[in-house]
Amino acid sequence: MVLHTSSVGVGDPVNQQFLRAVAARHPRIKIILAHSGATTEPRQFLDFMDTGVLDDCPALFLDMSSVSATVVYVRVLERPALHSRLLFASDLPFGLITGVERWSESRGRSSSPATTTPGPTLPCRPSLPRSATA
């Protein structure tokens, strides 16, 4: 099951209670937290790491796509027990299609174009080299 939260994401105690309840009721279902719970600020995810939810619920997996804050990677990688529960993925082409996902040196990842400087324009469908047999 993939949970795609937004805003405070797993930083919200109500969401944490929900995760615990679902994991307890359905222990064989793997629960993937898209974007590691899609917290708006890295501090919210770091606080989540201290709640014990990940320790108590071994069926929770962390998808690392669109996680832009280095401190999140450092914190997760400091916990060897989580290494086998990390999923490396991509959120592309979503950010390219919508144009709302941007990187700012001062704010990191942002979904608000008004708060960042527009990034380079990238094609939605990158051209691939043609093979000699095509």
Per-residue pLDDT of the chain (134 residues; tens, 9 = 90+): 887 766 677 888 888 999 999 999 999 999 988 877 665 677 888 888 899 999 999 999 988 877 777 888 888 899 999 999 998 877 666 655 555 555 566 665 555 444 434 444 434 344 444 454 44
Same domain, 29 and 77: yes
Residue 22 sits in the same domain as residue 82: yes
Determine the structural domain holding residue 8 and report its residue range.
2-89
Residue type, 56: D
Closest by alpha carbon to 85, among 103, 106, 59?
Answer: 59
C-alpha to C-alpha distance for 122 and 129, rounded to whole angstroms: 17
Per the omega criterion (within 30 degrees of 0), is the bond before 118 cis?
no
Question: Based on the domain organization, do 84 and 107 belong to the same domain?
Answer: no
- Residue 95 — φ and ψ, nearest 5°? -60, -35
Model pLDDT, residue 128: 45
The total domain count for the chain is 2
* Token pair belonging to 105: 């040196």
Peptide bond into 93 cis (omega under 30): yes
Question: Is 93:71 a contact under the CB 8 Å cutoff?
Answer: no
Whole-number CA gyration radius for the chain: 17
Written as six digits, the tokens of 66 are 């669109």
Within this chain, do residues 76 and 46 fall inside the same structural domain, yes or no?
yes
User: Same domain for 19 and 80?
Assistant: yes
Question: 46 with 107, same domain?
Answer: no
Same domain, 113 and 53: no
The verdict on pTM exceeding 0.85 is no
Q: Report whether 14 contacts 2 (CB < 8 A).
A: no
pLDDT at 116: 39
Indicate if 83 and 98 belong to the same structural domain. no
Indicate if 97 and 51 belong to the same structural domain. no
